Amino acid sequence: MSKQRNETIARRWYEEMWSEPDLDVADEIVDKNYDPEWVHIDAVGSAQIKHEIRYFRSIFPDLKYEILDLIGDDEKVWIRFKGRGKQMGNAWGFEATGREVEFEGVTILYINSNGMVSDRWGAFCFYDILTDLGLVPHLWNLSERLE
């Protein structure tokens, strides 16, 4: 039962909370002490993830996630995803380009015995985003820029 519950929580994380976006889902699935140490936002719990979602959607208002792989157990869920969106807001010191980005990543959601996300680890290819936006060369062309 916990494995199935945790996989449902992970689907809600990406399909409802991030992709719709339905920020109220954060209040239902994020633990009040949620505060990943690698995320530097001055908020905890559902307020932290809501802030993160608002920020990313201010850059990519049409941001959507597709779950490519999902495997859960009694304490965590591994998700491999693909994200897509058009950059319509300024970010990371760059003006909006209006260009579409597509990137892949992975997330591990740690889910406590109360069925709440208590921690998260994630990685995605930020370089792919910058390449799609035309801000950096493709990796295989990078040496041409360094000469």
> Where on the phi/psi map is residue 109: left (φ > 0), alpha (ψ -120 to 50), or beta?
beta
Q: What is the pLDDT of residue 143?
A: 75
Looking at the structure of the chain, the number of domains it has is 1
CATH of the domain at 90: 3.10.450.50
Model confidence over 59-115: pLDDT tens digits? Answer: 999 999 999 999 999 999 999 999 999 999 998 888 999 999 999 999 999 999 999
pLDDT score at 43 = 82
pTM reported for the whole predicted model: 0.89
Distances (CA, A) of 84 to 10, 25, 30, 69: 18, 21, 24, 16
Specify the pLDDT at position 40: 78
What was the pLDDT predicted at 35? 84
Range of the domain at 115: 2-146
